[in-house]
Amino acid sequence: MCGIVGYIGHRDTRDVVVSGLAKLEYRGYDSAGIALLSKNQIEVVKSVGRLANLEQKLMTEDIDGEIGIGHTRWATHGRPSDDNAHPHQDCSGRFALVHNGIVENYLSLREELIEKGHQFKSETDTEVVVHLVEELYNGDLFSTMVQVGKHIHGAYALVVMAKDNPEEIIAMRKASPLIVGLGEGENFVASDIPAILEYTRRVLILDDGEMAVVRREGVDSFTLDGNPITKDVLEVHWDAVAAERGGYEHFMLKEIHEQPKAIRDTLRGRLETDLKRVALPELQLGAQFVQEMDRIHIVACGTSWHAGLVGKAVLEQLVRIPVEVDVASEYRYRNPVDTENTLVIVISQSGETADTLAALRDAKARGRKVMAITNVVGSSVDREADDVIITQAGPEIAVASTKAYTTQLVSLYLLAIYFAQERDTVQQSVVQDLLQELDALPQVAEQVLDSAPQIEAFAKQYSDAHDTFFIGRGLDFSVALEGALKLKEISYIHAEAYAAGELKHGTLALITKGVPVIGIATQPHLYEKTLSNIQEVKARDAFILGLTWVGNEDLQKTADEVIYLPKIHTLLAPIATVIPLQLLAYYAAVARDNDVDKPRNLAKSVTVE
Ligand code: F6R
């Protein structure tokens, strides 16, 4: 998730582009850059780090432009660096281009272009696109871009300009957002509305598979094949702050709703097109290690640790290998029993959590192979691990982790299926079933989000509760832990998660009349048992919110309310189950008037022990 801005008009182009980028920094902030076109010359200035670094650099640069494009980056391919920052240029410096998304076939395109003599300066997938523009250029930028679109696979929002064409910017979109702002004698392009709200409230939202030619005096819209289309103008009524959050009241709610896209982005390019195998070309573990690996240790903190618990169950089930999961602050000091064939997997959204990083360093010092699952390219964990899987959640701003968790789960599913296929531990038909269901997860997440009003009503009713209990068995217990953590951290309601069968060994004493209990029952082989545990708490007059699959109508006889989830593969259930629990925590915190995005005493990244 990166931020893009483009401008053509009568204002100070540099100011418009930089101030637009400032409004988009929530989309990415590991590096930034701008390209300005003036007197048939394109000048590019880029800087690693936050936008302030670019602004600092620009103070000493005497550059201006008639048109300009800019980018604030959240790395997906290639670490944050000046070279990898956008805009990118072709060999001759004739074109400048910014991109948000992932070009899936960039490796093969890069090889072809290198063979044709193109010289690359960065490690990004984006740079292939600008060399492709140079390669295919026919004197007309618009028709060239139509051709470019036919060669690239994946997701993109692209904005490009050419030095011999100071009259237009081309914008095109496939699966990454892009809008056009309409002014008088000026027009804008941006990833998102906040970037342009200072100048105009009239907007064209480009839909998937559309492109626009943006000139000073007007904008023409087309399909990616170059056929003209007519688009409606949208009048935006949000204020600037609400626009940054995409119209949502809080970043957390926005991020909960971004999960279908985040899941889709994390799966992108990793399911082979016939849905028969997982492809993780980034892994360098080596075939021999994958075969000889004799145990896995997963190490993480907080929500990432909860993702690890799901990972354990899935890896053990599919790969039949022993997996241990540790909280990083414990792992560091417990002198774990492992072997030279142990794989240590650290999971960290930020990639900077002090305990997780220390655990990674300890494991490496003992000579273990370490794999990281992280959301931040260029973070310490990314740089220091031997192997990395990047979750494609985009920046997570709210302190309470939501989309990072679901994309960590998706990464663990992919990894488990990858190991299973390489070690031949499950039948091909099982792999295919799982891949089909993985592919459908974004739609499942969309459907689950529809339960928001029901959960909001429940959360309002119970927002003055002192204690809450989350119960479940197997994978449902792992999700219960995450649901309880979410509720605690933002609503400040005491919440405990219990393995449902363990309740009667003590905790049942706390269940009294009206105490809210969230009973999760999605695991078919454990359903009857969980149901009887839910009946146990009902017998103590608890108020029960049940979560189960559509079709398990009998839960309704015991639970006071039931959220019915679309039926999916048992192993994938946590993705569907966690979303209502995130919403429950969110609405309870809102009802209590808490600072949802910045809960008390908590920080987004815990960089001290
Ligand atoms: C909870 C939450 C924290 C983090 C934990 C680890 O919502 O966000 O529990 O999961 O601090 O952070 P990362 O994943 O950045 O290592």
Q: What is the pLDDT of residue 102?
A: 87
Q: What is the pLDDT of residue 63?
A: 83
Q: What residue owns the CA closest to ligand 1's atom 5?
A: 302
Tell how far the Cα of 352 is from the centroid of ligand 1, in angstroms. 10
Q: Ligand 1, closest atom to CA 303?
A: 10
User: Can you give the CATH number for the domain in which 559 is found?
Assistant: 3.40.50.10490
User: Can you give the CATH number for the domain in which 194 is found?
Assistant: 3.60.20.10
pLDDT at 286 over 80: yes
Residue 310 lies in a domain: no
- C-alpha to C-alpha distance for 140 and 390, rounded to whole angstroms: 37
- C-alpha to C-alpha distance for 300 and 307, rounded to whole angstroms: 9
Share of the chain above pLDDT 90, in %: 82
Average pLDDT over residues 590-599: 93
Residue 425 lies in a domain: no
pLDDT at 467 over 80: yes
Q: Which of 250, 251, 252, 303 to mutate to test the pocket of ligand 1 (most atoms within 8 A of CB)?
A: 303
Residue 117 lies in a domain: yes
Tell how far the Cα of 507 is from the centroid of ligand 1, in angstroms. 27
Q: Which of 382, 401, 581 to mutate to test the pocket of ligand 1 (most atoms within 8 A of CB)?
A: 401
Q: What residue owns the CA closest to ligand 1's atom 9?
A: 302
- C-alpha to C-alpha distance for 238 and 193, rounded to whole angstroms: 9
Residue 426 lies in a domain: no
**Would residue 163 show up in a list of annotated catalytic residues for this protein?**
no
pLDDT at 246 over 90: no
Q: What residue owns the CA closest to ligand 1's atom 8?
A: 401
Tell how far the Cα of 609 is from the centroid of ligand 1, in angstroms. 13
Q: What residue owns the CA closest to ligand 1's atom 16?
A: 348
Tell how far the Cα of 405 is from the centroid of ligand 1, in angstroms. 9
From residue 117, alpha-carbon distances to 132, 135, 145, 163, 378 in Å are 12, 10, 21, 21, 29
Residue 17 lies in a domain: yes
Q: What is the pLDDT of residue 26?
A: 77
Q: Contact at 8 Å (CB) between 422 and 291? A: yes
pLDDT at 608 over 70: no
Q: Which of 255, 309, 347, 350 to mutate to test the pocket of ligand 1 (most atoms within 8 A of CB)?
A: 350
Tell how far the Cα of 351 is from the centroid of ligand 1, in angstroms. 10
The pLDDT tens digits for 108-146 are 999 999 999 999 999 999 999 999 999 999 999 999 999
Q: Which of 606, 607, 608, 609 to mutate to test the pocket of ligand 1 (most atoms within 8 A of CB)?
A: 606
Tell how far the Cα of 309 is from the centroid of ligand 1, in angstroms. 14
Mean pLDDT for all residues in the chain: 93
The pLDDT tens digits for 142-169 are 999 999 999 999 889 999 999 999 999 9
Number of continuous H segments (helices) and E segments (strands) in the chain: 21, 25
Q: What residue owns the CA closest to ligand 1's atom 3?
A: 302
Q: Ligand 1, closest atom to CA 356?
A: 16
Q: Ligand 1, closest atom to CA 381?
A: 16
Q: Ligand 1, closest atom to CA 305?
A: 10
pLDDT at 170 over 90: yes
Share of the chain above pLDDT 70, in %: 98
Q: Last residue of a domain, which of 219, 241, 263? A: 241
Q: Last residue of a domain, which of 241, 269, 296? A: 241
Tell how far the Cα of 490 is from the centroid of ligand 1, in angstroms. 13
Tell how far the Cα of 388 is from the centroid of ligand 1, in angstroms. 18
Average pLDDT over residues 337-357: 95
Q: What is the dihedral of CA 21, 25, 28, 31, to 10 degrees?
A: 60
- The SS3 of residue 323 is strand
pLDDT at 529 over 80: yes
Q: Contact at 8 Å (CB) between 546 and 535? A: no
**C-alpha distance across the termini of the chain, in Å:** 30
Q: Contact at 8 Å (CB) between 455 and 463? A: no
372: DSSP letter: E
Residues linked to residue 562 through DSSP beta bridges, in sequence order:
546
**Would residue 2 show up in a list of annotated catalytic residues for this protein?**
yes
Residue 54 lies in a domain: yes
Residue 93 lies in a domain: yes
Q: What is the pLDDT of residue 155?
A: 85
Query: Considering 57, 231, 529, 604, which one is annotated as catalytic?
Result: 604
Strands of the sheet containing 154-162, edge to edge, are 88-89, 95-103, 154-162, 165-174, 210-214, 219-223, 228-229
Q: Ligand 1, closest atom to CA 302?
A: 9
From residue 207, alpha-carbon distances to 185, 294, 298, 408 in Å are 24, 48, 41, 28
Q: How confident is the model at residue 607 (pLDDT cuts 50, 70, 90)?
A: low
* Biggest CA-to-CA distance, the chain: 80
Average pLDDT over residues 5-23: 95
Query: Considering 2, 46, 254, 403, which one is annotated as catalytic?
Result: 2
- C-alpha to C-alpha distance for 527 and 356, rounded to whole angstroms: 35
Average pLDDT over residues 486-496: 96
Provide the domain limits for residue 46: 3-241
Q: What is the pLDDT of residue 39?
A: 84
Looking at the structure of the chain, the number of domains it has is 2
Average pLDDT over residues 294-323: 98
From residue 235, alpha-carbon distances to 186, 202, 239 in Å are 17, 5, 12
Tell how far the Cα of 398 is from the centroid of ligand 1, in angstroms. 11
94 CB-near residues (< 8 Å, 6+ apart):
42, 134, 137, 162, 163, 164
467 CB-near residues (< 8 Å, 6+ apart):
493, 494, 495, 496, 510, 515
Q: What residue owns the CA closest to ligand 1's atom 10?
A: 303
Sign of the C-alpha dihedral computed for residues 406, 445, 546 and 460 taken in this order: positive
Tell how far the Cα of 404 is from the centroid of ligand 1, in angstroms. 9
Q: Ligand 1, closest atom to CA 400?
A: 7
pLDDT at 244 over 80: no
pLDDT at 243 over 80: no
The pLDDT tens digits for 409-460 are 999 999 999 999 999 999 999 999 999 999 999 999 999 999 999 999 999 9
The pLDDT tens digits for 253-273 are 999 999 999 999 999 989 987
Q: Last residue of a domain, which of 173, 208, 241? A: 241
Q: Ligand 1, closest atom to CA 405?
A: 10
Q: Give the residues surrounding ligand 1 with Cβ less than 6 Å away.
A: 301-304, 348-350, 353, 356, 400-401, 485, 489, 605-606
The packing angle between helices 441-449 and 428-439, to 10°, is: 40
The pLDDT tens digits for 395-407 are 888 999 999 999 9
Q: What is the pLDDT of residue 79?
A: 87
Q: Which of 304, 382, 409, 411 to mutate to test the pocket of ligand 1 (most atoms within 8 A of CB)?
A: 304
Q: What is the pLDDT of residue 129?
A: 97
